[in-house]
């Protein structure tokens, strides 16, 4: 797929792995100023996200950008790449949970300048996991290094949540430890979500009202 410096109007240009359910997907719409992140967070998704976000940054900076997230998680470093790109963007960015935002998806969601959730959304805490390619034969020093690095990653994730919620550090660490999932109302209470998006009141056209009143 050709990668552009500006987002195009063809929302299907970036769906190059439609037949692989294990690969995350990106959708964007320039006119609506939105990006959708779904599925597993991968390195290639993080790279493509940067290209798309940079394209939006070349447009108006006065209008907010909305990022919808429905992800069960994925690669820790890809997560941090996307999180940092969002936090360092000059755009005002709204993140919305549509479905679930767990593990890496949860941390990416926390990057928003304003965070919203659909009524049935679920947020999931999950501590980071990293693996060395030693085939299980690494020595004590490698194992210690791996454990230390994993602790640093967890500390970073705890800081992100603590700085953007009213949760205590002990509570956050416990939630990460036991792999907790919470609903939108609980997330709102904890300050993880700023707003729950409720369905709008819909007004039927007058012609529809007449049809509904007609006897069958």
CA distances from 189 to 70, 177, 178, 194 (A): 21, 21, 20, 9
Please state, for a pLDDT cut of 90, what percent of the chain lies above it: 68
91-140: pLDDT as tens digits = 999 999 999 999 999 999 999 999 999 999 999 999 887 655 554 555 56
> Cα-Cα-Cα-Cα dihedral of 75, 13, 117, 53, to 10°?
70
154-201: pLDDT as tens digits = 999 999 999 999 999 999 999 999 999 999 999 999 999 999 999 888
d(CA 105, CA 98): 11
pLDDT for position 18: 39
Taking 3-state DSSP, the helix, strand and coil percentages for the chain, each rounded to the nearest 5, stand at 35, 20, 40
Environment class of 121 (CB within 10 Å of its CB; exposed 0-12, middle 13-18, buried 19+): buried
pLDDT for position 13: 44
Fold classified for 25-213 = 2-enoyl-CoA Hydratase; Chain A, domain 1 (3.90.226)
Write down the domain spans for the chain.
25-213
Give exposure, 48-73, as e/b (b: 16+ Cβ within 10 Å). bbeebbebbeeeeeeeebbbbbbbbb
pTM over 0.85: no
Over residues 74-82, mean pLDDT:
95
Sequence-distant (6+) residues with CB within 8 A of 210 are none
Q: Which two tokens stand for residue 173?
A: 């660490």
Residue identified by tokens 């947020």 is 123
End-to-end distance of the chain based on CA atoms, in angstroms?
54
Residue identified by tokens 């304003």 is 114
């Amino acid at each position: 797929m050709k990668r552009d410096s500006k987002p195009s109007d063809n929302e299907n240009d970036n769906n190059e792995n439609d037949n692989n359910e294990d690969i995350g997907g990106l959708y964007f719409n320039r006119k609506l100023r939105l990006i959708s992140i779904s599925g597993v967070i991968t390195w290639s998704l993080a790279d493509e996200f940067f290209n798309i976000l940079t394209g939006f940054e070349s447009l108006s900076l006065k209008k907010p950008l909305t990022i919808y997230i429905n992800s069960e998680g994925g690669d820790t470093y890809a997560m941090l790449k996307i999180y940092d790109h969002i936090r360092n963007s000059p755009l005002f960015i709204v993140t919305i949970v549509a479905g679930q935002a767990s593990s890496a998806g949860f941390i990416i969601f926390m990057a928003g300048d304003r965070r919203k959730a659909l009524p049935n959304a679920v947020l999931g805490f999950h501590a980071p996991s990293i693996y060395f390619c030693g085939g299980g034969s690494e020595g004590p020093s490698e194992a210690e290094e791996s454990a230390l690095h994993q602790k640093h990653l967890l500390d970073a994730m705890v800081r992100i949540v603590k700085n953007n919620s009213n949760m205590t550090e002990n509570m956050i660490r416990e939630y990460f430890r036991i792999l907790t999932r919470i609903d939108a109302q609980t997330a709102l209470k904890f300050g993880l979500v700023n707003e729950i998006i409720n369905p709008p009141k819909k007004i039927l056209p007058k012609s529809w009202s007449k049809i509904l009143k007609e006897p069958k």
